Structure 1
Amino acid sequence: MTDAALTRDDVAALPKVLLHDHLDGGVRPQTVLELAGEVGHPVPADEPTALARWFLTAASSGSLEDYLTTFEHTLAVMQRADHLRRIAAEAVVDLAQDGVVHAELRYAPELHQREGLTGDDVVGAVADGIADGIARAAEAGRRIRVVQILTIMRQADHGRATAELALRWRHAGVGGVDLAGPEDGYGPARHQYALRRLRQASMPVTIHAGEGAGVVSIAEALHLGGAVRIGHGARLIEDITLGRATEDDPWGLDGASLGELAHWVRDQQVPLEVCPTSNLHTHLAPSLAAHPVTALQRLGFAVTISTDNRLMSQTSPTTELWRLVEIGWTLEDLRDVTLTAAWSTFVHADEREALVEDVLLPAFTPKGRHRA
C-alpha cells in the first residue's frame, strides 16, 4: 500500500493546509530562551536543543493535563505586545517555509493579559506579527494566508469577552473561535451564552473534543456547542465497531458498524482536526499504526491532519504527513486530507475554491508535485 515513489522531499514540497496549530505551542526554542531572559522567567534548560528536548519529554508524559503544564513557559514570554508580534511573525515564516499555504493559528487572548494588555491589544499584536510574517515569507518566495482563531478556555470564565472580541475582529483577521482546555468536567454548556452568541452572529466555532474525553464530549461539542469542526476527534472511533482484522484489512473496516454519532459526523462530513503525533504524546494511541486516523480516513470521515503544538511535539506539517506515509499512506491520501482541510477553512467559499483550484490541485498532479 506504500507509495514507493513518494519521498520526504516530495512531501515537503507539497502545499499544506493547517487548521489546528496553537500559537503558544509553536514558539521557537531560541525565542523562548531570549524572551525568558528579558522577562526574568526561569526555564528548565539554557540551550535551544536541550530546551526543545525538555518540552518533548515533558509533553510525552502520557497525560493531557501534564501536557498542558508545559505551556507555562511559553505563556510567560507572551505577555508583551512586541513579544507576541515576534512570535506570531516567526510562526508564519516557519510554516510558510514548510510549504503551508493556509494556516489557522489559535490562541487564548485571556492567557496573554497578565501584564496589562487588553484583549484588543493581544489580537492587534498578533495581527501585526502575522502581517510581518506574511511579508517576510513573500520576500523568500513563499505565499501564505493566515487566519486567527480565538480560544475560550473551558475552565475559566472569559467566554463572553472572547466571543465579543472575536466578533469585533472578524473582518480584521479573526476567522473563528475555539473552545479548549481540560475536557473532563468542563463541557461546552459552561460557555453556552458565548457559544450561542457566536452562532447567532454566524461566526464559526471549532471545539476540542475526542482527545481527553470520548464520544460524549464530541456529541456535546456538536449539539450543545454548535461546533462546525472538531479539534482532534480521534476518539470518535469509540462509536465504531470494527470487523474482524485480516492481513488485507488490518483494521477490519469491511465489517465496520457505525454508531449514531459516528454516522452523523460522517453523514454531515464534520471536519476532524486530527493531530497524530500530539495524540501519541498524550497516549491516545500506543503507536501511529494503531492510531484511529487511518481507519477514520478509510471509512470516509472528513479527516484533516494538523500539528497541534509544534514545539511540544517536535513536529511540523511535513513531519506529520511523512509519518503517515511511513505507515502506508499514499499521495492520493495526502491529497484527500489536504483538499478536505482546504474546503473546511474558516474563510468564504470563493476563497476556498481559489485555494483548491489555483494552488492545491495543480501541485498534486504528477507535473506539479514539486510546486509548493
Structure 2
Amino acid sequence: MSAGEKFLIAGGRVDIADLPKVSLHDHLDGGLRPETIVELAEEAGVELPAPDAASLGEWFRDSADSGSLESYLDTFAVTISVMQTRQALSRVAREFVVDLATDGVIYGEVRWAPEQHLERGLSLDDAVEAVQEGIEQGIEDARRTTGHDIRVSQILSAMRQADRSLEIAELAVRWRGRGVVAFDIAGPEEGFPPSRMLDAFDYLAEEWFPVTVHAGEDGGIESIRGALLDGRALRIGHGVGIAHDIDFEGEDDETQFVSLGTISQWVKDREVALELAPSSNLQTGAISHWGEDLADHPFDLLYQLGFRVTVNTDNRLMSGTSITQELSLLRDAFGYDLSDFEVFQLNAAAASFLSVEDREDLADRISDGFDAAGR
C-alpha cells in the first residue's frame, strides 16, 4: 500500500486501515522494510540482489510471484542473512510491530524460526530474547507515537527440512508465559510430513502447548490430515487444500449441492481456523487447481460453507501487502462489506492463542471498533 492510499468501504465512508484487526499468520523474516534490509546488509557486509530500497522491494515481489512455493521460499535467504545479531533481530521485531499497528492491528502473532538465526553466535534463547525485546519496544513505540494499543505474541517455527523440531518445541515451552504462545512447523510440505516430527508433537501434547501447522498450501488433503492427526494442530496454516475434500453434485448451479469429506467436515465442525493468505496463496500457486485469479480462491466457498476463515498476509514484504490490502482485494473479488470483515476478525480473535478471557476482551474491542465505524 503506497503512502497515503486509502482502501474505502461502506459507501466510501470507512478507511479499512482504521478498522481493528487480528493477524494470526505473519512471518517475521517476511515482514522487513526494504530500507532496513539495505542498512542491515551494509553493516553485515551482505550483498543484495538490488541496490536500493525501492528496487529491492520490487525484486522481492517479482521473485516471490513465481507460482511455486519452493521458489517463493528462496527469497528468505536474503532477509535471514541480515537477521543474525541481537541488534538486528530486535530492530526488525520492533519495526514489525509498529507496521502492524499502522495497519490497525490490535493483536498479532508473529512466527519465525530461531534455528535460522544462529550464524553469528546467538543461542536459540538469545534469539528469542532479542525478538521479545523488539516486540516490547515496538508496542511502546506504537503507544507513544500514535496512541495505538497493540499486543503481539511469538509463535516459534521449526523448519520441516531440518532435524531440530524437538529442540524448538522445548524452546517454545521454555518461553511460555514470556511472550511465546504456540509452536509451528514451516518450510516445504512435500516430503516433510508432520509424522517425521512425532517426538516434538508428543512432547508438546504432554506439555499442553498449542500447535499450528503449515498444511494444505503446497500439499493437498493428506497434508491437512497429517497436521491434525500427527501434529494435533489447533489451527491450519493456509489450509487452502481443504477445498480438495469438498465435492459438488448436480448438473448445474441451481441444482448443485455440496458434500464435505471426513476431514473437511471435522475441520468445519470443530471450528479449526484456516489461516488463509489470499495474495500469498496466489503467488505460490496454492490455488492453481481452481484458477489463476484471486476470484478463483476457495476463500469465499469456505466462508459461505461456515468454515472459520481468517485473513492474513503471510509475508508482507514478498507480497507487498497488508491486512488492509488483503481485505480490500477480497472486497473487490467477492463483494464483502463491513459485516463480513467483522466476522473475519472475530474468527481470528476466537482462534488466537490467548486465554479465553483475553479472547473475549479482544472480541469486544473488535465489535466496538466496527460498531463505531458503521455509525
TM bracket, shorter-chain basis: over 0.9
Aligned-pair distance for 1:8?
8.7
Q: Partner of 1:237 in structure 2?
A: 243
Aligned-pair distance for 1:4?
6.7
Aligned-pair distance for 1:342?
0.2
Q: Partner of 1:281 in structure 2?
A: 283
Aligned-pair distance for 1:292?
0.5
Is 1:218 aligned to residue 220 of structure 2?
no
Q: Partner of 1:161 in structure 2?
A: 167
Contact 2:9 2:338 in 1 (8 A): no
Aligned residue for 2:237, secondary structure, equals strand
Note the 1:1-372 alignment, pairs <5 A: 5-7=10-12, 9-139=14-144, 140-243=146-249, 255-285=257-287, 286-327=292-333, 328-357=335-364, 359-365=365-371, 367-369=372-374
Aligned-pair distance for 1:135?
0.2
What are the Cα deviations for residues 22-74 of structure 1, in whole angstroms up to 9, with x where unaligned? 00000000000110111111111111111000000000011100000000000
Contact 1:8 1:322 in 2 (8 A): no
Amino acid at match of 1:283: G
What are the Cα deviations for residues 272-304 of structure 1, in whole angstroms up to 9, with x where unaligned? 000000011012231110001110011000101
Aligned residue for 2:128, secondary structure, equals helix
**What is the rounded CA distance, in whole Å, between the counterparts of 1:254 and 1:320 in structure 2?**
30
Aligned-pair distance for 1:190?
1.1
Contact 1:253 1:295 in 2 (8 A): no
Contact 1:275 1:305 in 2 (8 A): yes
Aligned-pair distance for 1:5?
2.5
Contact 1:100 1:144 in 2 (8 A): yes
Q: Say if 1:253 and 1:29 are closer, same or farther in 2 by CA, change over 3 A.
A: farther
Q: Say if 1:308 and 1:211 are closer, same or farther in 2 by CA, change over 3 A.
A: same
Identity of aligned residues (%): 48
**What is the rounded CA distance, in whole Å, between the counterparts of 1:242 and 1:284 in structure 2?**
20
Amino acid at match of 1:363: G
Q: Say if 1:8 and 1:151 are closer, same or farther in 2 by CA, change over 3 A.
A: farther
Contact 1:271 1:344 in 2 (8 A): yes
Q: Say if 1:50 and 1:190 are closer, same or farther in 2 by CA, change over 3 A.
A: same
Cα-Cα RMSD: 1.6
What are the Cα deviations for residues 163-221 of structure 1, in whole angstroms up to 9, with x where unaligned? 11111100100000011111011001111111111111111000000001000000010
Amino acid at match of 2:182: G
Contact 2:10 2:337 in 1 (8 A): no
Contact 2:24 2:108 in 1 (8 A): yes
Q: Say if 1:104 and 1:6 are closer, same or farther in 2 by CA, change over 3 A.
A: farther
Aligned residue for 1:230, secondary structure, equals strand
Aligned-pair distance for 1:253?
9.9
Q: Which runs of 5+ in 1 are unaligned?
A: none
TM-score by length of 2: 0.94
Aligned-pair distance for 1:235?
1.2
**What is the rounded CA distance, in whole Å, between the counterparts of 1:304 and 1:253 in structure 2?**
29
Contact 1:6 1:331 in 2 (8 A): no
Aligned residue for 1:256, secondary structure, equals strand
TM-score by length of 1: 0.94
Runs ≥4 residues deviating over 2 A? 3-10, 242-246, 367-370
What are the Cα deviations for residues 123-146 of structure 1, in whole angstroms up to 9, with x where unaligned? 000000000000000012111000
**What is the rounded CA distance, in whole Å, between the counterparts of 1:289 and 1:238 in structure 2?**
17
Report the number of matched residues: 362
Aligned-pair distance for 1:6?
4.7
Amino acid at match of 1:52: G
**What is the rounded CA distance, in whole Å, between the counterparts of 1:349 and 1:4 in structure 2?**
31
Q: Say if 1:195 and 1:137 are closer, same or farther in 2 by CA, change over 3 A.
A: same
Q: Say if 1:256 and 1:75 are closer, same or farther in 2 by CA, change over 3 A.
A: same
Q: Say if 1:15 and 1:234 are closer, same or farther in 2 by CA, change over 3 A.
A: same
Amino acid at match of 1:137: A
**What is the rounded CA distance, in whole Å, between the counterparts of 2:314 and 2:80 in structure 1?**
16
Amino acid at match of 1:49: A
Aligned residue for 2:82, secondary structure, equals coil
